[in-house]
């Protein structure tokens, strides 16, 4: 456990070295996502919906817990290390390593896991909205780009707000499904 904390506290995004940090990763993942979704829609065209009640419940509970962990993973170090150094430090000085950077990386990776949302919709024969698919594709690509420019106020605030919103959405959905 101690070595995990050391790893998190010293985490640093290095393009081409950190797993899934290649500039090709989001492009390949997005292309694969679209191929899978359109192929799955075609496959499901003449089939009955698949009931995934408990799988969707577990999926959303997992995302709720993950969102809470990422939310706290940003908030706690922000108030412990960044806020005491003043507003200039929070707004202008990019965070290049440490807990905030680590949880931002986890947030980036979680976007690929969230592709399952769309797969579950297709398997349950629910209508896919263009906006849903656009959001899945763009958010992942946007966060990959932001990783290269380091984490500063606009990136950690957007991730903080996104985690807070996603925590509410997934936990609400989990209550609805359960």
Q: Tens digits of per-residue pLDDT, 20-79?
A: 888 888 889 999 999 999 999 999 999 999 999 999 989 988 988 898 898 888 888 888
DSSP-derived letter for residue 79 is I
pLDDT of amino acid 178:
47
Task: Say what the pLDDT of residue 163 is.
Answer: 59
- Residue-number span of the structural domain to which 155 is assigned: 2-12+21-177
Cβ atoms 156, 105 nearer than 8 A: no
**pLDDT in the model for residue 143:** 67
Query: Which pLDDT value is given to residue 165?
Result: 62
Structure confidence by residue, pLDDT tens digits, 106-164: 988 888 898 998 999 999 999 888 887 887 877 777 766 565 555 555 555 666 566 56
Residue whose token pair is 């499901």: 44
If residue 130 lies in a helix (H) or strand (E), which one and from where to where? helix 130-148
- Give the separation between CA 113 and CA 137, rounded to whole angstroms: 12
pTM of structure: 0.79
- Split into its structural domains, the chain has a count of 1
pLDDT of residue 42: 96
> What pLDDT digit, counting tens, does each position of 64-100 carry?
889 889 888 888 888 888 778 877 777 777 777 888 8
Q: How far apart are CA 141 and CA 10, in angstroms?
A: 25
């Amino acid at each position: 456990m101690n070595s995990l904390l050391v790893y998190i506290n010293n985490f640093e995004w290095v393009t081409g070295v950190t797993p899934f940090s290649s500039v090709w990763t989001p492009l390949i993942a997005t292309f694969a996502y679209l191929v899978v979704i359109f192929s799955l829609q075609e496959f499901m065209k003449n089939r009955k919906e698949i009931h995934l009640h408990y799988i969707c419940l577990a999926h959303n509970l997992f995302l709720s817990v993950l969102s809470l962990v990422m939310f706290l993973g940003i908030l706690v170090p922000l108030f412990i290390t960044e806020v005491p150094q003043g507003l200039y430090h929070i707004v202008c000085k990019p965070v290049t390593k440490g807990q905030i950077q680590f949880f931002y990386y986890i947030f980036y990776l979680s976007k690929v896991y969230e592709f399952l949302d769309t797969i579950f919709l297709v398997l349950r024969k629910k209508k896919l909205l263009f906006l849903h698919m656009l959001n899945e594709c763009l958010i992942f690509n946007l966060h990959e780009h932001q990783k290269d420019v380091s984490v500063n106020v606009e990136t950690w605030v957007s991730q903080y707000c996104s985690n807070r919103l996603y925590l509410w959405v997934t936990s609400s959905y989990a209550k609805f499904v359960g």
